[in-house]
Structure 1
């Protein structure tokens, strides 16, 4: 009787939880696609494909899975139809004629400046592959320095050389991030500790769009970013083990969330008001990513 009960429990467990495993490839070239953002629709469950395009996801029932990668069409598919290999279709975009002039690099302009020493609040992703975005509005004075030269991002990492992805989006009529202005991954590497991480964009020849654009940070749920730590619940001495995926990104307090968006459960939403009362200057403010953008001619 005990053996029968054990078998039944095992069967129920296998039915309730299934391990979804697959490799994501380009439908045209058949090459593996790294760092694909993977979400369960309308739920806080997600992951990221690794450098080999591989991913694993544990589910308790059939779900709708959303796959998003720079340069590819977003795909929605039921979990039971995902096989050993999953294909994503490349985006087909009509690009405007680009005239590349020689750069003199004699002028620079920095916007969104922050002071590292003044920031003591960070946003981290936990175990879900969040994307958080900051909007940069176009201004007429940028005509003299129209090219994106570099990004400076305040990072805080508990592991050595944690990786994150930069997505550069245009803006739609609702003010949300939509459509890429650059169709490839831009990988940032954050050294351990509190650092200002610099990302060189000068060789990409990207001009500041007249409608403005978003710089988005994408957290990668990959093993090299994994950090385990001990913590205790309030009122208990029992030590628990938590998991985060590095790095955390510094934030500055803002009076409005107009320029700040986060992709959660596969949907873009404006950031919510900070209810953490422990840091006075952030109290009842909105957390905006600490990102500086340097422009050049």
Structure 2
């Protein structure tokens, strides 16, 4: 089946060069593999992630600039080598507030409806981030569950992606992620559910930015046949393109709470490449409890 897609940004996976270098990324404390660590390259506008075993094979024209993974300090790479060690990041906690949800009331924000729009990963890798406002200012609330509509195609293994949280600072995301969770989603169209009932996430009065980021590795990679709609109105049929799972659905919304972000900067609504993204919200539903 050929699927028409209105976004012409596709993942670049070079299949024409023979891979030259096998890389491992390990935890410096326990020497365990760091799964899905992100490798940024010099003079490239894309990134790649390690596999679940912390390994990745690089092309001969890919030179690592730095490596990052949530919970670890960023590693600037000055010398190319075969094994890299990431140092765990330890944060001093001045005060710990201990409280448990009552689970007496729940409500949902966001929406699981969809239209013919999908968020795809592309050559310039990016994140899609929704803002979720907290309208309950009187008591402490928590995130109990998140549901997101995904589609996974042509894969031998389950797909994975990053679900992350940023605090809201005067309408903008904080400098660093508050939390990052690697989520597994099954083949086909599914409502992928992340259950926080045993470890609820505090939903602050300022609201939260919640988003997704693609994990660029062979586990998620597949080939697809599509019709590409170019900006000049022409169509390119039966085009074989490299893709990365999953596809995230979106829906048209007047509130337009979703923003697109590449690896460096936020993109404003008047930027052509992100105009469509900013007119749609992620098909995501967040269940809140007290």
TM bin, normalised by shorter chain, reads 0.7 to 0.9
| Aligned pair partner of 1:178 in 175, 179, 187 | 175
1:294 corresponds in structure 2 to: 287
**Higher RCO, Cα 8 Å, sep 6+:** 2
Deviation at 1:197, TM superposition (A): 1.4
Q: Deviations over 1:243-276 (max 9, x none)?
A: 11111111223457665242x2x31313656969
How far apart in 1 are the matches of 2:30 and 2:68?
A: 18
How far apart in 2 are the matches of 1:70 and 1:269?
A: 20
Structure ID, larger Rg: 1
Normalization by structure 1: what TM-score? 0.75
- Unaligned 5+ segments in structure 2 are 1-16, 229-233
Normalization by structure 2: what TM-score? 0.76
How far apart in 2 are the matches of 1:52 and 1:285?
A: 35
Q: Residues 235, 144 of structure 1: CA spacing in aligned structure 2 closer, same or farther, 3 A cutoff?
A: closer
Contact 2:101 2:141 in 1 (8 A): no
Deviation at 1:57, TM superposition (A): 2.8
- Equivalent position SS for 2:103: coil
Going by fraction, where is helix more abundant, 1 or 2?
Answer: 1
How far apart in 1 are the matches of 2:270 and 2:52?
A: 35
How far apart in 2 are the matches of 1:288 and 1:188?
A: 20
How far apart in 2 are the matches of 1:42 and 1:135?
A: 32
Q: How many residues align?
A: 266
1:10 corresponds in structure 2 to: none
The yes-or-no answer on 1:55 pairing with 2:47 is: no
Contact 2:166 2:173 in 1 (8 A): no
Contact 2:112 2:284 in 1 (8 A): yes
The yes-or-no answer on 1:149 pairing with 2:149 is: no
Deviation at 1:221, TM superposition (A): 2.0
Q: Deviations over 1:37-89 (max 9, x none)?
A: 2223563222111111112332537x5623221111223324xx121111222
- Equivalent position SS for 1:269: coil
- Unaligned 5+ segments in structure 1 are 1-15, 277-281
- Give the stretch that moved more between structures: 223-232 or 65-74: 223-232
1:245 corresponds in structure 2 to: 244
- Equivalent position SS for 2:266: strand
Q: Residues 197, 94 of structure 1: CA spacing in aligned structure 2 closer, same or farther, 3 A cutoff?
A: same
